[in-house]
Amino acid sequence: MRLATWNVNSLKMRLPRLVPWLADKQPDVLLLQETKLADAAIPTAEIKEAGYEVATHGDGRWNGVAILSRIGIEDVVRGFAAEPGFPDPETRAISATCGGLRVWSVYVPNGREPDSPHYAYKLSWLAALRDALAADLAMGQPVVVAGDFNVAPTDADVWDPKAFAGSTHVTAPEREALARILAAGFTDVVPTPMKGPHPFTYWDYRAGMFHQNMGMRIDLVYASAGVTVRSAYIDREARKGKGPSDHAPVVVELT
DNA sequence: ATGTCGTGGACGCCACGA
């Protein structure tokens, strides 16, 4: 199975790039984040024409996640048990079974600043996600959870650790929240960067950050035991050219 | 790094989020 995850920063704006990307890369399952579309506005015709079924969880302006699959989508769950909100739950998680694999597409809250209530929300959301994933694992099925975690797991996952002093995405509590998810029964699938030494998946639009490779690895793929990972890479070509997302897709070959 | 995007509401700009 070929599985990919991609924060597209508006599915509406990215559709002209997504459709040829699907034809080129041929993923069996694609996990999307930041679709920024209500479910009723999802371009299902174009997605179906490309050969995929789609399950979505979106509310329109912000957030929004989706699963595209050409190997079936069963048992779709939008959100998860005891999912924290701000104050109400947002559209940040969707899971389904595709080809016998339980897959989750997640868009973790940004957190904004460490002293922000959004940061506390981020930590509580990650803690609740851990519990929901543990419940899925307890059912004995292989699970892959992937998406925009908005946390760089190590200092090697940001272009300059010094530049992130006092910022979110690199704090110890955020990294501990990731560690607790891993401890529930997952392995961090670190993808191969196709250029340079750093497996960055995100580069800010501003200040020529992409061209200077000043990026971050915040789009993560966590695979449970029972999932054999053969290879994984970052499609940085998708970050180039006119009208890209600020995130690159991560593509993983499984079992 | 703070140099750009995308969104929606009221508009050819602004406020917000990232």
Quick one: tokens of A217? Answer: 């690895």
Model pTM greater than 0.95? yes
Residue A190: per-residue pLDDT: 98
* Angstrom distance (rounded) from CA A150 to CA A113: 12
User: Is A68 a residue whose pLDDT tops 90?
Assistant: yes
| DSSP calls for A48-107 | HHTT-EEEEE--SSS--EEEEESS--EEEEES-TT---SSS--S-EEEEEETTEEEEEEE
Chain B nucleotides near the protein (CB, 7 A): 1-8, 17-18
Token pair 């909100």 in the structure block, residue? A85
In the sheet with A2-7, reading across from the earlier edge strand, the strands are A53-57, A65-69, A29-33, A2-7, A250-254, A229-234
Residue A108 has pLDDT above 90, yes or no: yes
Any catalytic annotation for residue A211? no
Footprint of strand B on the protein (CB under 7 A): A 9-10, 12-13, 36, 60-62, 109-110, 112, 118, 150, 163-164, 167, 204-209, 214, 243
Retrieve residue A213's tokens: 């490779």
Q: What is the pLDDT of residues A159-195, one digit of tens each?
A: 999 999 999 999 999 999 999 999 999 999 999 999 9
Q: Is the pLDDT of residue A97 over 90?
A: yes
Per-residue pLDDT reduced to its tens digit, A119-150 = 999 999 999 999 999 999 999 999 999 999 99
What whole-number distance in Å separates Cα of residue A123 and Cα of residue A126? 5
Choice among A31-35, A105-109, A194-198 with the minimum mean pLDDT = A194-198
For chain A, give the percent of residues with pLDDT over 70.
100
Which residue's CA is nearest to the C1' of nucleotide B2? A206
- Which residue approaches B1 most closely, CA to C1'? A207
A246 CA, B7 C1': Å apart:
16
Residues A60, A97, A1, A218, CA torsion sign: positive
A2-254 topology per CATH: Deoxyribonuclease I; Chain A (3.60.10)
How many whole angstroms separate alpha carbon A164 and alpha carbon A114? 12
Instruction: Write the CA distances from A213 to A17, A203, A208, A218, A236, integer angstroms.
Output: 22, 7, 9, 14, 10
Percent of chain A with pLDDT over 90: 99
Per the prediction, chain A carries an average pLDDT of 97
Task: Name the residue with tokens 């401890």.
Answer: A183
User: What residues does A6 pair with on adjacent strands?
Assistant: A32
Structure confidence at residue A71 (pLDDT): 98
Q: Annotated binding site: which residue ranges of A? A: 7, 34, 148, 150, 246-247
Cβ-based neighbours of A20, under 8 Å, separated by 6 or more: none
**Smallest CA–C1' separation from A60: which nucleotide?**
B7
pLDDT of residue A189: 98
Contact call for residues A71 and A1 (beta carbons, < 8 A): yes
Q: pLDDT-derived band of residue A255, with 50, 70 and 90 as boundaries?
A: confident
Look up A247 and say whether it is catalytic: yes
| CA-to-C1' span, A61 to B9 (A) | 12
pLDDT of residue A170: 97
Is A222 catalytic? The answer is no
Residue A246 has pLDDT above 90, yes or no: yes
pLDDT score at A60:
87
CA A108 to chain centre: 8
Catalytic residue among A52, A107, A121, A202, which?
A107
Mean pLDDT on A156-160: 97
